[in-house]
Structure 1
Amino acid sequence: MSTHFSTPVHLLGQSILAHKDQITVNARYSSETASNEQNLPNVVPTTFYDRIVSSLGETIEAGEVSYSHDDLPSFKESHRMTGLLESILMSISSIKQALFDYIDDYSKDSDLSVSEIISITKLIDPLINDYLHYYTENHLMQTTQSLQSEYYQSDELSVPIIKISNQVAICPIIGDIDERRGNLILERTLTESRAKKIRTLILDLSGIETLDTMMTQHLFKIVDSLELMGVEIIVTGVSSEVAIGVVSLGLDLNALTIKQNLSDALQELGMIDS
């Protein structure tokens, strides 16, 4: 609770809020410079930086973490833009760095102790991780939902390949994998990985309720074929029910790289902080 934190910590929070424009400018400059170097879209507005910095400052001032996504800016109109998610994650990382740079300068002229700085870190890190998780999961959910209404109307839409960086893409799989669909997924992922120079493909199975023997065999075939092409495969969205069902069939999931969700996969790739 806030009573556990000293007055200097509260004063730091107030100082951050008073100088949030300066912190926002520094974070935005750093993020846009990095985006230009990596040919990523500069689509993250100033209001995004301002809201995140304000939330972090308010958290430090209050001395406790409050998780709320109600006031977070959304990116619904641009959710299919290549590199959007990576730009958002880079912006959050730049905000964190700009904030710690400010805290470092502030601590030189204040009486913040080492233990107080550690306490501040314990307030900031969980909130930053929550933002990273929110935007990664929200991005995939929006993209998947936008495709569901058109699902199966064309082969391309039934197997979407969504690039989130120059070499990383996501393939959300919705519904059952029959013989035809398994071959289609294999063909599409191989073709798109080669054409788009994808080095890591995240297969998200959160849209699959059950995996039977045939579906699992198709999945292993897809993974093996892509890995022979040099594409790293990470499987996400495997529910406990699906995992239990696969094990009951006598199939071994240990051969697959499995992460619980998209955030965990991006942490594995070093695209967001752990």
Structure 2
Amino acid sequence: MNETARTPADLLRSALAADPARPLVTFYDDATGERVELSVATFANWVAKTANLLQDDLAAQPGDRVALLLPAHWQTAAWLLACFSTGVVAAPGGDPAAADLVVSGPDGLEAARGCRGERVALALRPLGARFPRTPEGFLDYAVEVPSQGDRFTPYAPVDPDAPALALPDGVELTGAQVVERARSSAGELGLTPGSRLLSAAAYDDWAGLAGGLLAPLAAGGSVVLCRHLDRLDPQALERRREAERITHSAI
């Protein structure tokens, strides 16, 4: 478990330095049959592109608040780390009217229109496909992100003691507190380097965020993130556990 990282972005950099080829996020959507596996290097590339979009095209500043109206999804995971990398405050399920920017999936578009700042829409379609028609008043993430740079450097170093995560229950955490909580959650879940954690929890509270991304990242493990897992029968779920070499669960 990494003991020197002070921000969530440091955790990702440490994972990249240790073993860029190992799986980090494996995503299933059991409503569509989608399966995506992202190595540390591939995930870090998506984070870099998203962070460049945030910093350059969307002009997000450290301390700005980004409302994330998104389910537990591999693209949501990339947005979380991109926010942490730029110093903006990630607010999963946050109020768009109180946010500087909003990022929404198809189900949250109407609520997202309450944001007066930039609005980004994610189609959440298999293979990261774009919307057939971009929602009015939004940028389509799948259109905007491919041209962004594969490396990211913030204009100013991210302060580990600045706000980083605003939870739906009103708790706000600094980057350093996110890291400390992630390490604590990894210990509570029994995660060690190489652990494979199956998570079907939403990204709407600390437990879902920890099990679905932050605790495996802190522990040097990986997450198998499942959306619509309730569509699987017990036998199919057991086959997935075996195929994905699951060692821990947070369902």
- Please indicate, yes or no, whether the TM-score normalized by the shorter chain is above 0.5: no
Q: State the structure with bigger RCO (CA 8 A, min sep 6), 1 or 2.
A: 2
TM-score if structure 1 supplies the norm length?
0.23
Q: Which has the larger radius of gyration?
A: 1
Structure holding more helix per residue: 1
